[in-house]
Amino acid sequence: MTSTVRTRIAPSPTGMFHVGGARTALFSWLYARQHGGTFVLRVEDTDASRNRPEWTEGILSAMAWLGIGPDEYEGPYHQSDNAAAHAEAAARLRESGLAYYCDCAREDVLTRTGDPHRGYDGFCRDRGLAPAPGRALRFRTPDTGVTVVRDLVRGAPEFDNRTLEDFVVVRGDGSVLFLLANVVDDATQRITHVIRAEEHLPNTPKQQLLWEALDHTPPVWAHVPIIVNEKRQKLSKRRDKVALESYRDEGYLAEAMRNYLMLLGWSPSDDREIVPWSVIEKEFRLEEVNPSPAFFDEKKLRSFNGEYIRALPVQQFVAACEPWLVTPPAPWPADRFDPAIFAALAPLAQTRLGVLSEITALVDFAFLDSPVDDDASWAKAMTAQAPELLRAVRAAYAEVPWEAGALKATLEELGAERELKLGRAQAPVRVAVTGRTVGLPLFESMAVLGRDRTLARLDAALARLTTGQPTG
């Protein structure tokens, strides 16, 4: 075993990249960087019935988005390429007497023990069965003593060897199970530190015994806490939003996601949370990871993301929004988008976003021929006073200097004449111009939209109030 730190991440290409796997990848990558070591990427692709090439590409893409690009890891290796070494290791265990063939079905064990919760009872240990189709190969666990796991997060948990059943390492069809394949791959790739989720801890004494049986020094283990939802249930892809790609596609910034994932089990000094990556890289200590379950709080992540968005230089913010400004997904015709208009609106929008995908709804009024038709907003804003107020606003706005301050002062004056505070007075104007009751600062938005387009929308709203039918 090399003295150089070598960590790894070993995802299975059976779905999108889980945020828990992303957290583990970050911990492993950063630990290797801190110690001048190597981070290895191994794709565990031996489940041919569920593997798909696009899932592998998705994993690589998601990791690159987080900042772990091809130049940051060794690999990717594929577990399927190491099948010969898996088979050779199984043969070594059999020849050394540390594994034996077994033809027991689960029903046989239940008949003998009468306990559906009891593990294998060792019936075939001394039968001396020869290899044959349908016979599994079981590892012979020690009858006495304890297996001590050296874990940087959990100390030194001990496992009584008498409680470890003789577990299967090769199925009856000849395929090698995860427990053995994983050990062989880690040993082949000289992994010194295995950082993974707590759910794998029960397998660790079995794998440590396999490391020793194959004459390898076991790695240092670090079982990081499971990630739970708001009900303190383990995150599940069937129930929770867990795919890293989904957050990326919704408009979360990689820097915000990376910062947040690092806090799932660890904290920087001085109770800070939003900190530069340079600080995280300097302060992170695997030994300081809290073993308690870590709550994945989507609301908190969204708040993080908003902070990161607001911290962007405006030009970077404009560039980050680009994927949501093209048609599609943007609802406006491609030739109606005006980069200069968006650049003028960008500083107004930047302070209001939680995720970048929200930019489309905030600025669509500027690029559509007419504002969106939102029945709820219309019903809320177009009160009995709206027609008369809009006529007065339309007349005043035809003459007023076209800048935000003058537009606001004019509406304030018109509202005061009708005993309306500005918030009430601007509601029908906002809906007439933008289609919604909430959005960017109204007066700055109208200043950017221009006098002609604003007046045309006020006219359309008045026509609708008269006829009851949307226009445009």
- Find the helix packing angle between 254-262 and 298-311, rounded to 10°: 130
330 phi and psi angles, rounded to 5 deg: -60, 140
- What is the predicted pLDDT for the residue at 471? 62
Task: Judge whether residue 472 has pLDDT over 60.
Answer: no
170, 90 contact by CB (below 8 A): yes
- When computed from its CA atoms, the radius of gyration of the chain, rounded to whole angstroms, is 31
Q: Using one digit for the tens of pLDDT, what is the confidence trace for 311-358?
A: 999 999 999 999 999 999 999 999 999 999 999 999 999 999 999 999
**pLDDT, tens only, 138-169:** 999 999 999 999 999 999 999 999 999 999 99
As to burial, measured by CB atoms within 10 angstroms (0-12 exposed, 13-18 middle, 19+ buried), residue 426 is buried
416-422 long-range Cβ contacts below 8 angstroms, 24+ apart: 418/385, 418/388, 418/389, 420/385, 420/389
Residues marked as catalytic: 237
**pLDDT at position 14 over 80:** yes
**Residue 387, both tokens:** 């027609």
Give the residue extent of every domain in the chain: 85-170, 314-467
Determine contact, residues 99/137, Cβ cutoff 8 Å.
Answer: yes
DSSP element (H, E) containing 40: strand 38-43
The predicted model scores a pTM of 0.92
Q: Tell me what pLDDT residue 118 has.
A: 86
Q: Are 77 and 43 in contact (CB under 8 A)?
A: yes
Question: What digits encode the pLDDT tens for the residues 176-213?
Answer: 999 999 999 999 999 999 999 999 999 999 999 999 99
Q: Which CATH number fits domain 314-467: 3.90.550.10, 1.10.10.350, 3.10.580.10, 1.10.357.10?
A: 1.10.10.350
374, 273, 297: which is closest to 331 by C-alpha? 374
Q: Is the pLDDT of residue 1 over 50?
A: no
The residues that bridge with 221 in the sheet, in sequence order, are 151, 194
What letter does residue 151 receive in the DSSP assignment?
B
| Domain covering 85-170 in this structure, CATH number | 3.90.800.10
29-74 tens-digit pLDDT: 999 999 999 999 999 988 777 778 888 999 999 999 999 999 999 9
